[in-house]
Amino acid sequence: MAFFAVFQKTLLLAFLSWRTFQSEVLAEYVSLTPESLKVSTNSTCQCLQLQWSIHELPHHQELKMLFQMEISRVKPSNVIWVGNYSTTVKRDQVLHWSWESELPLECATHFVRIQSRADDAKFPELSIWSNWSSWEEVHVQHSLGPNTLLVFPKNKLVEEGSSITICYISGINHNNITCYLHDKLIYGVQLDSKASAFKLNNVPFIRKSGTNFFCEVNQTDIKSGATFFVSKVLEEPKNFSCETQDFKTLKCTWYPGVDTGLDWNIQPSQSYTLFESFSGKKQNCKHKNSCNWKITQDVQETYNFTLTAANYFRKRSANIIFNLTHRGETRVLTAYCA
Ligand SMILES: *[C@@H]1O[C@H](CO)[C@@H](O)[C@H](O)[C@H]1NC(C)=O
Ligand SMILES: *[C@@H]1O[C@H](CO)[C@@H](O)[C@H](O)[C@H]1NC(C)=O
Ligand SMILES: *[C@@H]1O[C@H](CO)[C@@H](O)[C@H](O)[C@H]1NC(C)=O
Ligand SMILES: *[C@@H]1O[C@H](CO)[C@@H](O)[C@H](O)[C@H]1NC(C)=O
Ligand SMILES: *[C@@H]1O[C@H](CO)[C@@H](O)[C@H](O)[C@H]1NC(C)=O
Ligand SMILES: *[C@@H]1O[C@H](CO)[C@@H](O)[C@H](O)[C@H]1NC(C)=O
Ligand SMILES: *[C@@H]1O[C@H](CO)[C@@H](O)[C@H](O)[C@H]1NC(C)=O
Ligand SMILES: *[C@@H]1O[C@H](CO)[C@@H](O)[C@H](O)[C@H]1NC(C)=O
């Protein structure tokens, strides 16, 4: 018995020192510093798109990791955003992450860097922050002529009540530039010697053809402008009901509320679809306030309809359940949503 206990203890010690050895090897040789960081811009989403990898991840290892990102504007020391991203990383995997900028990316140079650490219960010893990657610089506007004045964003779509940031970038002295929102003088915040930004909160819907913003240089004919589009907030369909006169077709109707369509197909009017959960059938509605539904010959009694309105920003639904019990009778069957 005593021999067995000693043997067991030795074995345990051997195992422990192997574990310690393994941990030391990992901690000593593994640098989890993010490498090959590349940053590109996507003007559609006004995003910085990052990709990077961890070169020295141990062989055949998957590691839960935490990344910390820093984003600066104009100069590296001016950090405007810090955030975390957590994921499981495999060896040689290219990681992706993106960040949406309030400010149009054309108006300022941005800088990005990342650091990382393991966030994995299996490797507590790797849970220390790596070095930062070097700053990666991103600029969209490469050269700017002395008489250039450019306004961004172009044709952006936002929802009523949300916010939008507009900016200009120019080689001309700020004091000589004046800007107007919907023909009213507006003052911005200077970002650097070239650019200014205008943050508009709680934007109202003015018209379907968009809201105009423009800047001009005093005593010259240099001007630049942009239009942004404000969508009304999509409403839930109201008074959704279905009825049939002939038990062949159900006619479903509703009040659609405001039309959220905008000019130049920036946003089409909201679409409506009808879904019936027992049959699993779905139908796109041709009209904005009604939809015809064929009653099939099989003996479905209970109908559970979900009417969904959708636009670029939102989906809103209304639901009704009813029994189509009076098959063959001539009176009108009507069902209203609860
Ligand atoms: C961090 O950077 C310093 C200085 O460049 C270097 O000596 C050190 O080895 C780096 N550490 C890691 C874990 O890469
Ligand atoms: C840019 O962003 C849009 C909208 O998020 C996305 O659909 C598109 O795939 C992105 N383009 C690239 C090149 O990643
Ligand atoms: C990121 O994670 C670290 C470590 O868990 C935490 O200290 C920090 O507050 C987090 N930062 C943000 C912006 O969530
Ligand atoms: C430019 O015009 C605006 C509006 O007329 C005026 O307020 C501003 O003082 C002018 N700036 C210069 C430098 O002339
Ligand atoms: C800008 O304003 C300054 C004085 O404030 C003036 O000397 C200069 O000529 C102006 N430039 C332009 C392009 O109007
Ligand atoms: C919906 O129906 C209710 C009661 O039947 C009625 O009071 C209301 O005015 C209707 N709503 C609309 C938008 O017509
Ligand atoms: C009716 O359909 C909706 C949407 O598919 C579902 O969430 C709900 O549970 C259904 N109700 C019944 C009673 O089947
Ligand atoms: C529909 O009929 C079924 C069975 O006849 C019944 O259990 C159910 O409560 C009825 N539902 C409605 C909404 O009338």
Compute the average pLDDT of residues 209-233.
95
149-231 has which fold?
Immunoglobulin-like (2.60.40)
Per DSSP, 262 falls in state B
Q: How far is the CA of 67 from the centre of ligand 3 (A)?
A: 9
Whose structure tokens read 């010697």? 193
Contacts by 121-127 with C-beta closer than 8 Å and gap 24+? 123/23, 123/26, 123/63, 125/23, 125/24, 125/26, 125/27, 126/26, 126/27, 126/30, 126/32, 126/63
Whose structure tokens read 């009040």? 255
- What tokens does 105 get? 């990316």
- Type of residue at 248: K
Q: Reply yes or no on whether the pLDDT at 48 is more than 70.
A: yes
Name all residues whose Cβ lies below 6 A of ligand 2.
42, 44-45, 49
In which band, very low, low, confident or very high, does the pLDDT at 336 lie, cut at 50, 70 and 90?
low
Percent of residues, the chain, with pLDDT higher than 90: 64
Q: Is 133 in the pocket of ligand 1 (CB under 6 A)?
A: no
Ligand 5 pocket, mutate which of 173, 218, 220 (most atoms under 8 A from CB)? 173
Query: What are the domain boundaries of the chain?
Result: 14-138, 149-231, 238-335
Compute the average pLDDT of residues 96-125.
92
- 330, with CB counted inside 10 A (0-12, 13-18, 19+), is exposed
Q: Reply yes or no on whether the pLDDT at 248 is more than 60.
A: yes
Task: Give the pairing type, strands 223-231 and 315-323.
Answer: unpaired
- What tokens does 19 get? 């574990």
Ligand closest to CA 278 = 7
CATH architecture of 238-335: Sandwich (2.60)
Q: Measured from the CA of 185, which atom of ligand 4 is nearest?
A: 4
Per DSSP, 187 falls in state -
- 301, with CB counted inside 10 A (0-12, 13-18, 19+), is exposed
Residue 22 pLDDT: 47
Distance CA 276, CA 184 (A): 50
Residue-averaged pLDDT of the chain: 86
Q: Reply yes or no on whether the pLDDT at 239 is more than 70.
A: yes
Host H or E run for residue 41: strand 35-42
In which band, very low, low, confident or very high, does the pLDDT at 337 lie, cut at 50, 70 and 90?
low
Residue 142 φ then ψ, to 5°:
-85, -50
State whether residue 11 is helix, strand or coil: helix
Ligand closest to CA 306 = 7
Q: Reply yes or no on whether the pLDDT at 71 is more than 90.
A: yes
In which band, very low, low, confident or very high, does the pLDDT at 36 lie, cut at 50, 70 and 90?
confident
Name all residues whose Cβ lies below 6 A of ligand 6.
238-239, 255
Q: How far is the CA of 205 from the centre of ligand 3 (A)?
A: 38
Q: Is 304 in the pocket of ligand 7 (CB under 6 A)?
A: yes
Compute the average pLDDT of residues 288-303.
87
Cα 331 to chain centroid distance, Å, stands at 50
Equal fold, 14-138 vs 149-231:
yes
Instruction: Report the helix count and the strand count for the chain, using DSSP H and E.
Output: 1, 24
Give the pLDDT confidence of 166-176 residue by residue, as tens digits: 999 999 989 99
Q: Tell the CATH superfamily of the 14-138 domain.
A: Immunoglobulins (2.60.40.10)
Host H or E run for residue 28: helix 2-29
- What tokens does 293 get? 């539904």
Q: Reply yes or no on whether the pLDDT at 241 is more than 80.
A: yes
Q: Which residue from 173, 237, 162, 227 is spatially nearest to 201, judged by alpha carbons?
A: 162
Residue 84 pLDDT: 95
Give the pLDDT confidence of 140-168 residue by residue, as tens digits: 877 888 889 999 999 999 999 999 999 99
Ligand closest to CA 333 = 8
